[in-house]
Structure 1
Amino acid sequence: MSIYLDDIAQFLAKFLAVDRYDGDQNGIYVPSNRAIARLGLVLEPRSDLAKWTRRERIDALFLHRPWQLQPEKLAADIGVIAYHLAFDECFTLGYNPRLATVLGMSGLEVLGKKEERAIGMIGAIDRHNFDSYCDRIDQVFGGYDKANPGNCAEILRVAVVGAMNDALVREASDRGANIYITGQLRQPAQEALLETGIGCVAVGHRRCEEWGLKALGGVLTERWAKLQVLFL
């Protein structure tokens, strides 16, 4: 049975609960009735995108940031789906059970909300020191930008949040987190980091997105065994 762009869009609409994201790009960006065997997953258009789609025989594209796309350079029947904020919050740093599993977290609780949507999670891990847990983060994401151990001698509880401000850092510390994992260090949170002594790791925005893209590929191939996903 063939897979079509609308099938994938309908599946992701439910998986990502896109009705929570009013006014954001969620769903079909360029329509197509072409059957899909090979789906390209791309964060944003690049100059070699059209050439890559031809070489890899791509039937449709997923784009995270589609706004610079020039559809006229693609084959006429290649469809595009695009998800922006929903992808970020569900597949990168936020309340993300798939990520929690590979980070060794359990007993997940929501940490932080934006418009009633969870933007972070906090949970327990097996005992680690700061360096050993940074090694795990490095293995998961392929690196990180900055790491500050703070005053933590050991890590038993971890916060993973797709934002960073004074209030969120203090809440994480008050709820027992020994380390705060985020995309980028933010200056307004520096005082809270110093006063609480909580450790912090900034993974890097791009690394978080790349991990999320691979996770999305896993979800799609779990849903459709015959679907091939390719990454630019």
Structure 2
Amino acid sequence: MSPATLEGLARWLHTALGEDALKRPGLEAVRRLELALEPADVPATLEADALFLHRSRHTGDRWPGVGVLGVHDAFDLQFTTGPNRRLAGTLGWTDVQDVTWEGRLVGLQATPPQRSWPELHAALVAALGGEDSSFAPAGGAPLRLALMNAMNPALLEHVARLGVTVYLTGQLRPSAVAAARTLGLGVVALGHRRTELWGLRRLAQELEAAFPGLETVVYG
């Protein structure tokens, strides 16, 4: 079986995510790809043929001879909070729709399979490996989620008008908590780094599926 190539990996990432991914040339044949969020997460010595970094700045001349791949904005958009349809599919959400704000795609709304807040909360914690903080929605309205890449009163009001009852995001913004409670919204701050690591592991799985024989290691 022919190994993956650095060029082939970069081409796949560009096609899948729409962002140029090759940051530094290296060995063409890639049997082992290591993935991390940023250079500080990577050991000084690698056994990899190539390295994927979500934040690839400040790589410098470390790991000489190792090709570096990186995707930032498109990774955030598709693999963390925001319009992350991969997470929606993993968690079995249905009726998934984009949420736009001021002409920008900022998240999605969906219906979870769980019927109660405790069940939903438990499913989210299990899938992400934890949370930063959360509070339950008011009243007994059916659960409808918004997975968003930011949190502010205007966005909270926007999704509440769409029928959303639970707001999911990376980091809790204290300035927006009062607005969420006034609107009766439940909130789960899943954790910025935690959602990034979920996305990194998911990306590694997709690359292994696309390139049979490729070995991946995720740091974090």
Scaled by the length of structure 2, the TM-score of the pair is 0.91
Q: Deviations over 1:88-135 (max 9, x none)?
A: 111111112210022221111111347x55220101123422122111
Cα distance 1:48–1:179, how it changes in 2: closer, same or farther (>3 A)? closer
Which of 150, 157, 160 is the aligned partner of 1:173?
A: 160
Contact 1:112 1:168 in 2 (8 A): no
What residue is the counterpart of 2:176 in the other structure?
A: 189
Give 3-state SS (helix, strand or coil) of 1:40's partner: strand
Give the distance between the partners of 2:197 and 2:24, measured in 1 at CA. Answer: 23
Give 3-state SS (helix, strand or coil) of 2:40's partner: coil
Deviation, 1:189, is 2.3
What residue is the counterpart of 2:91 in the other structure?
A: 103
Give the distance between the partners of 1:102 and 1:224, measured in 2 at CA. Answer: 21
Contact 2:134 2:188 in 1 (8 A): yes
Which of 22, 37, 44 is the aligned partner of 1:43?
A: 37
Structure 2 residue runs of 5 or longer lacking an equivalent are none
Scaled by the length of structure 1, the TM-score of the pair is 0.87
Cα distance 1:228–1:155, how it changes in 2: closer, same or farther (>3 A)? farther
Give the distance between the partners of 2:27 and 2:213, measured in 1 at CA. Answer: 18
What residue is the counterpart of 2:80 in the other structure?
A: 92
AA matched with 1:158: L
Give the distance between the partners of 1:198 and 1:31, measured in 2 at CA. Answer: 48
Give 3-state SS (helix, strand or coil) of 1:201's partner: strand
Contact 1:34 1:78 in 2 (8 A): no
AA matched with 1:9: A
Contact 1:130 1:155 in 2 (8 A): no
Cα distance 1:194–1:78, how it changes in 2: closer, same or farther (>3 A)? same
Q: Deviations over 1:8-57 (max 9, x none)?
A: 11111111122xxxxxxx41111124310000011111275222x1xxx2
More divergent stretch after superposition (77-86 vs 150-159)? 150-159
Give the distance between the partners of 1:155 and 1:176, measured in 2 at CA. Answer: 9
RMSD value, Cα: 1.8
**Does residue 121 of the first structure (1) align with residue 115 of the second (2)?**
no
Give the distance between the partners of 2:203 and 2:41, measured in 1 at CA. Answer: 23
Contact 2:27 2:49 in 1 (8 A): no
Give the distance between the partners of 2:8 and 2:125, measured in 1 at CA. Answer: 35
Deviation, 1:188, is 3.8
AA matched with 1:141: L
Deviation, 1:69, is 1.9
**Does residue 60 of the first structure (1) align with residue 87 of the second (2)?**
no
Q: Percent identity among equivalent residues?
A: 33
Contact 2:54 2:70 in 1 (8 A): yes
**Does residue 82 of the first structure (1) align with residue 70 of the second (2)?**
yes
**Does residue 160 of the first structure (1) align with residue 150 of the second (2)?**
no
AA matched with 1:62: F
Give 3-state SS (helix, strand or coil) of 2:217's partner: strand
What residue is the counterpart of 1:13 in the other structure?
A: 14
Structure 1 residue runs of 5 or longer lacking an equivalent are 19-25
Give 3-state SS (helix, strand or coil) of 2:213's partner: coil
Give the distance between the partners of 1:131 and 1:61, measured in 2 at CA. Answer: 39
Kindly tell me the number of residue pairs found equivalent between the two proteins.
218
